[in-house]
Amino acid sequence: MLVLSLLFSTLLSEVCPQTVPEQAQFVDQRGFNALKTVPPPSVSNLTSIFLPPGLSEDDALAKPFHVYDEAFYDIIGTNPTLTVIGSTGGDPLFHEAVVWYPPTDEVFFVQNAGAAAAGTGLNKSNVILKISLDQAAAVSSQRNASGQVEVIAVNATPTVINSNGATNYRGEIIFTGEGQGPDIAPSLFVMNSVEPYNTTVLLNNYFGRQFNSLNDVAINPRNGDVYFTDTLYGYLQDFRPSPALPNMVYRLNPSTGAVTVVADGFELPNGITFSPNGSYAYVTDTGAQYALYGYNFTAPASIYRYVVEPDGTWSNRKIFSYVSPGIPDGIHCDTNGNVYSGVGDGVHVWNPSGTLLGKIFVGMTSANFNFAGKGRMVICAETQLYYVTLAAEGAVVASEMPSS
Ligand SMILES: *[C@@H]1O[C@H](CO)[C@@H](O)[C@H](O)[C@H]1NC(C)=O
Ligand SMILES: *[C@@H]1O[C@H](CO)[C@@H](O)[C@H](O)[C@H]1NC(C)=O
Ligand SMILES: *[C@@H]1O[C@H](CO)[C@@H](O)[C@H](O)[C@H]1NC(C)=O
Ligand SMILES: *[C@@H]1O[C@H](CO)[C@@H](O)[C@H](O)[C@H]1NC(C)=O
Ligand SMILES: *[C@@H]1O[C@H](CO)[C@@H](O)[C@H](O)[C@H]1NC(C)=O
Ligand SMILES: *[C@@H]1O[C@H](CO)[C@@H](O)[C@H](O)[C@H]1NC(C)=O
């Protein structure tokens, strides 16, 4: 094993003259293009973490910034760091809806709604939590600083029920709520980002009909409209009735209240984001993961890209990436239009042509994450919360754009 990894790193230093940062390693993809044996789907499939030959899981975790393309060096910079800043025994507290609120330099996120270990779903709503980035930055030289960063519950009033996705919205935060049982409809909630965290329901129906379970939301920086995905996870996690609408992507024009549909034809539309200038929309389809009903390996675990037309409608759907391992859940862009998504082993990064540039490898499902401006990122991996420093900067969020 030692010989193998020595051989591996020698090989790597030959192909890669660049100084490799301490927490990074180069992965030569030619090294696994032709494996000695390729295991059958019962052994190697969507749920199994693949490591290139010669790389143990410990090696992979020890240097978690995996460089698949030289362009990744510019994204991570000379000294990227990855730090555990929270961990729970089993409660999936660190799930999705990761949002940076610049005025207080806090990052908000939510607990998994509907996971058995969370006891949420039908019985109680999940909780919104936050951390202070000052505290995270103070421990970034450590690899595991769990317990040293305060994770604070946010008492939204009235409650944001079963929140799953979120983004900045006109100085406040907009959450997608998945609903609860047959009588509490999935809703878009707006929450004041500071105390008393008062909330207002912005939308809870489509011409009187309940959505299935709202999942994620993004604001187009060009027109300021609210685009959101509706999908089946409330039903697939047993806390919503049978769906009564197709799974689609909707658009709310907050000035007129008009709700329109911009895309359909998904299995399970999930994460949504826009390129920095709003000319592309990205939507993840996690159709391969049916929650309590298991996996379907031939269904999408895919990211689709659309052109956003000047009038805000979408055209030219094309596949951007089929991810492996796992499913692509949360999705965000950096200021250069590179695309990041939380998948089965961490966060993957692609250039705008869909070429994998690198991974931030945490060895477990990372449903969502977000930038906190320039050089900082927070990753939610269910029972583990991570703080990342790197060179890249998150695409500007709509609330910071001049209002039109
Ligand atoms: C997928 O692979 C894992 C091992 O990584 C195995 O435990 C599981 O049974 C496989 N799933 C199916 C449906 O074959
Ligand atoms: C609700 O709680 C009951 C009793 O604690 C439990 O049996 C049931 O599985 C829970 N339901 C959900 C959807 O979490
Ligand atoms: C970080 O440390 C805590 C104990 O302090 C442990 O429970 C947790 O599993 C560790 N996390 C990782 C990813 O190693
Ligand atoms: C919260 O309350 C303030 C003060 O009344 C109000 O200006 C703001 O619009 C409210 N925000 C939400 C999201 O309800
Ligand atoms: C938006 O950015 C893309 C490149 O990401 C560029 O091709 C396009 O011209 C830009 N559109 C506008 C309206 O600036
Ligand atoms: C799995 O997904 C594919 C593609 O979406 C679909 O055609 C097939 O019916 C699904 N299989 C099952 C068992 O649901």
Between the CA of 29 and the centroid of ligand 4 the distance, in Å, is: 52
> Backbone phi, then psi, for 35, in 5-degree steps?
-80, 155
46, 297, 298, 319: which to mutate for ligand 6, most atoms within 8 A of CB? 298
Rounded Cα distance between 368 and 380, Å, is 6
CATH class held by domain 55-393: mainly beta
User: Domain locations in the chain?
Assistant: 55-393
Between the CA of 154 and the centroid of ligand 4 the distance, in Å, is: 16
Q: Which ligand is nearest to the CA of 296?
A: 6
Nearest of 250, 278, 249 to residue 396 by alpha carbon: 278
Nearest CA to ligand 4 atom 7: 192
Which residue, chain included where needed, has tokens 């027109």? 223
Rounded Cα distance between 214 and 162, Å, is 10
- Residue 18's pLDDT is 74
Nearest CA to ligand 6 atom 4: 299
**HEC letters along 124-187:** CCCCEEEEEHHHHHHCCCCCECCCCCCCEEECCECCCCCEEEEEEECCEEEEEECCECCCECCE
122, 233, 236, 292: which to mutate for ligand 2, most atoms within 8 A of CB? 122
Nearest CA to ligand 1 atom 9: 42
Nearest CA to ligand 1 atom 5: 48
Between the CA of 169 and the centroid of ligand 4 the distance, in Å, is: 13
- Residue 14's pLDDT is 53
Q: Which ligand is nearest to the CA of 123?
A: 2
- Residue 1's pLDDT is 45
- Report the chain (404 residues): mean pLDDT per 10 consecutive residues: 49 64 98 97 97 96 98 98 97 98 97 95 96 98 98 98 98 98 98 98 98 98 97 98 98 98 98 98 98 97 98 98 98 98 98 98 98 97 98 79 43
- Residue 188's pLDDT is 98
